[in-house]
Amino acid sequence: MDQAPGSPQEPQDAHSLPSCYRHPGRDTGITCTRCERPICPDCMVSASVGFHCPECVRSGSGTGHSATANQPRTVAGGAASASPHLVTKILLAINAAVFIAALASDRVVSDLALVGQWPPAPFSPVEGVAEGQWYRLVTSMFLHQAVWHFAFNMLGLWWLGGPLEQALGRIRYLALYLLSGLAGSAFTYLLASPDQASLGASGAIFGLLGATAVLMRRLNYDMRPVIALLALNLLFTFTWSGIAWEAHVGGLIAGTAIAFGLVHAPREHRTLVQAGTCALVLIATVVTVLARTVALT
């Protein structure tokens, strides 16, 4: 009888682990609880019992209430999706659309950039966050002006965001991205000069980087690559001129804290702990913005 490639019935070396059926050469000791194919941490989807492979997640099992009750969940308890990168693609599209608009008109930059109170040329005269334009804390997260800045952040969003969206689920991943970016904006507003204009998705990207480290630690993955990447990015943050390091640090702190709450929440109180973690980060961000606004006005 023919066997599917990479199936558990295929002969294996007695001294080696089987390879992931989707990533040949990547050894793993984890198998899908439905089809028993070997899967690596990048492919496994947390379920009520064990882990499932992407194909079993897409095909589902059973019908009606049984299928709903046995729906595979992600590591963080989110619903597994057959299109796990959808939110990442939408975020990429929004950033690209705003970038094109900024290239077409300088007015877009002056209207959307993060400015504390009174901006420098060529943005003046406009009002800033302290004058009530709080929306700048959000719009600046999607705004880029330099091609290299846009390209670097979007590559980071694709490389880090896709796997995180698959591991966390869409809603939790989107909350992680938005709250990390908002925290980065708030930290910049708090510490940077009020007349310093800043923009970019770097706060959100650093949040994804911190979350990646937390997730890899949770899955007992090799931490050396992500630690090296984090160290390299922090080196650039504090050595290159013209970089708003406050956004990087604020996003990193928020993303790490949120991810810890998402992946380490106890199953019996998972939703409460996860929502509470996100709420605490949001409250801290709002308090920071209010305190800075009072100080400036």
Catalytic residues: 202, 248
Backbone phi, psi, residue 266, to 5°: -65, 140
Nearest to 141 by CA among 173, 108, 101, 98: 98
Give the separation between CA 135 and CA 44, rounded to whole angstroms. 38
Helix (H) or strand (E) holding 58: helix 54-59
Give the separation between CA 241 and CA 57, rounded to whole angstroms. 46
* Tokens 């949120």 -> residue: 258
Give the separation between CA 207 and CA 198, rounded to whole angstroms. 17
181's CB contacts (< 8 A; 6+ apart) are: 138, 141, 201, 203, 204, 207, 251
Nearest to 58 by CA among 28, 105, 93, 22: 22
**Contact between 166 and 82 (Cβ < 8 Å):** no
**Contact between 52 and 60 (Cβ < 8 Å):** no
Give the separation between CA 271 and CA 92, rounded to whole angstroms. 28
Report the SS3 class of residue 198: strand
What six digits make up the tokens of 254?
Answer: 């928020």
What six digits make up the tokens of 2?
Answer: 């023919």
